[in-house]
């Protein structure tokens, strides 16, 4: 089990259940509404919108990408050093 104290000290993207933990300590779930998105910034590629489309994780922006699960999304965001902007 991931403890909130560990998440804040590590500064990494983490996933547990349906929740996504950001490096800055915010906790969010992936929006399923077509009008809501999680906004992240990847330095080289700009801003991306993340949400669920037909129960699949989808990231759109400069390029589009699908993810099998929330853990794969967290690994990708960590590897790209993405910054959490907020909910749009």
Q: Residue 74: pLDDT band by 50, 70, 90 thresholds? A: very high
Contacts of 9 (CB under 8 A, 6+ apart): none
Residue 1: pLDDT over 80 = no
Nearest in space to 53 (alpha carbons), one of 76, 41, 40, 37: 37
Q: Whole-prediction pTM value?
A: 0.83
Q: How far apart are CA 26 and CA 46, in angstroms?
A: 21
pLDDT, position 10? 56
Q: Tens digit of pLDDT for each residue in 22-71?
A: 998 899 999 988 889 999 999 989 999 999 988 899 999 999 999 999 99
Higher pLDDT, 33 or 5: 33
């Amino acid at each position: 089990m991931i403890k909130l104290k560990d998440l804040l000290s590590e500064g990494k993207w983490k996933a547990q259940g349906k929740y996504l933990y950001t490096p800055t300590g915010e906790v969010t779930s992936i929006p399923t509404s077509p009008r809501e998105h999680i906004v992240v910034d990847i330095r080289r590629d700009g801003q991306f919108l993340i949400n669920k489309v037909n129960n699949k994780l989808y990231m759109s922006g400069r390029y589009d990408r699908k993810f099998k699960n929330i853990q794969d999304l967290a690994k990708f965001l960590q590897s790209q050093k993405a910054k959490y902007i907020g909910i749009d």
